[in-house]
Amino acid sequence: MIIAVDIDGFWDLVERSARETETRQARVAWLEAQLSGLSVEEIVDFEVLFTLCANRACSWDMYAVFWTVTGFGSSDGFEYFVNWLISRGRDAFEKVADCPDRILELPEVQRLFELSKNFSHERTTWSRDGAFRLKRVTHVRRQVWPDEDDPEFESFAYVTFEPYKRATGLETDSLGEAVDARGVSSKFPFLTYHAEPDGDAWDFGDEAEFIRRLPRLARHYGLT
DSSP class of 6: -
pLDDT tens for 67-97 read 999 988 889 999 999 999 999 999 999 999 9
The Cα 109–Cα 91 span in angstroms is 14
Rg (CA), the chain: 21
Pick from 24-38, 75-89, 108-122: least confident: 108-122
Confidence check: pLDDT of 123 > 90 = no
Mean pLDDT within 1-22: 86
pLDDT at residue 197, rounded to an integer:
84
Length of the chain: 224
Helical (H) or strand (E) element with 121: strand 120-126
Confidence check: pLDDT of 209 > 60 = yes
pLDDT at residue 175, rounded to an integer:
96
Residue 218 Cα distances to 2, 174, 209, angstroms? 46, 43, 10
Average confidence score pLDDT of the chain: 89
pLDDT at residue 223, rounded to an integer:
85
Give this prediction's pTM: 0.87
Mean pLDDT within 120-138: 60
The Cα 20–Cα 28 span in angstroms is 11
Kindly give, in sequence order, each residue whose CB lies less than 8 Å from that of residue 40, ignoring residues fewer than 6 positions away: 164, 167, 168
pLDDT at residue 115, rounded to an integer:
87
SS3 173: helix
Is 186 within 8 Å of 52 (Cβ atoms)?
no
Mean pLDDT within 29-43: 96
Percent of the chain residues past pLDDT 70, beyond the cut:
87
Residue 133 Cα distances to 121, 122, 137, 139, angstroms? 16, 13, 13, 20
Kindly give, in sequence order, each residue whose CB lies less than 8 Å from that of residue 47, ignoring residues fewer than 6 positions away: 160, 164, 175, 178, 179
As a whole number of Å, the end-to-end CA separation of the chain is 54
Mean pLDDT within 5-9: 92
**For residue 101, how many C-alpha atoms fall within 13 Å in the half-sphere facing its CB?**
12
